[in-house]
Amino acid sequence: RNTIVMGRRGAIAAKTAGQAAYLRELAEKDLVFALGPAGSGKTFLAVAHGVSLLLSRRVDKLVITRPAVEAGERLGFLPGDLNEKIDPYLTPIWGALDDILGPQVLAKKRETKEIEVAPLAYMRGRTLSYSYVIIDEAQNTTRMQMKMILTRLGEGSKMVVTGDPSQIDLPNRGDSGLTHAMGLLGKLKGVGVAELSADDIVRHELVARIVRAYDNEHKNAFGG
């Protein structure tokens, strides 16, 4: 009963209590903030849920976006044309979609523009109606970028904002649109919050231990 969608390698479902709680938020709320470390399923489960809504025609389009800023690099300083610059930032998303849909179905949905994966800057000026919108790596949005994308939400749409506040790559960590929006909007009616942890990591078991070690170091260093 926890199955979200049938992927090409079998049923995709929650594997932990934290993931199950996350899926309930996705089902019940129009805007969900999902925080968690790498490997906790925050992005993959959001993509799977969006694919499920798309295939069942409850939305017309799946839109996935992420800021094109990582580890201090900005697009203007990278070599190559625009597509070459953008592709590395979007590869993880295409990989998740391929895992769920398979290459042929994904290619068809991409061709019909039912699935769109694009940098955050491409969202400006649009209204995203009857769409399932995922903002990935949202810890690297600025406050203005976050306000811009949240206000794109149109009629019949749902939005998921995923990120890891411990992985902020902005020059000033205090500028993160994710942490600001969580504090400002987290308790509004219709807004859900899901916080995943090392206990929800479903990659190699060593990854969970690595994440816990870094978390403990951070807590000891900052007294929290």
Q: Give the pLDDT of the chain (224 residues) as one tens digit per residue.
A: 466 766 666 678 889 999 999 999 999 999 999 999 988 999 999 999 999 999 999 999 999 998 876 544 455 555 555 556 667 777 888 888 999 999 999 999 999 999 998 888 888 889 999 999 999 999 999 999 999 999 999 999 999 999 999 888 888 888 899 999 999 999 999 999 999 998 898 777 787 788 788 878 867 766 65
Q: What is the pLDDT of residue 40?
A: 92
Tokens representing 191 are 């807004």
* Tens-digit pLDDT profile for residues 43-100: 999 999 999 999 999 999 999 998 876 544 455 555 555 556 667 777 888 888 999 9
- For residue 146, what are the CA distances in angstroms to 162, 172, 204? 12, 15, 32
- Residue ranges per domain, the chain? 3-222
Give the CATH H-level superfamily of domain 3-222. Answer: P-loop containing nucleotide triphosphate hydrolases (3.40.50.300)
- pTM of this prediction? 0.85
**Residue 138 phi, psi dihedral angles, 5° rounding:** -70, -15
Q: What pLDDT, on a 0 to 100 scale, did the predictor assign at position 4?
A: 74
pLDDT at position 192 is 96
CA distances from 173 to 66, 69, 139, 166, 195 (A): 17, 13, 9, 9, 20
> What are the tens digits of pLDDT across the range 93-103?
888 899 999 99
Alpha-helix residue ranges (DSSP H) falling in 61-142? 82-101, 103-111
Neighbours of 213 (CB within 10 A): 11
Largest Cα–Cα separation, the chain:
52
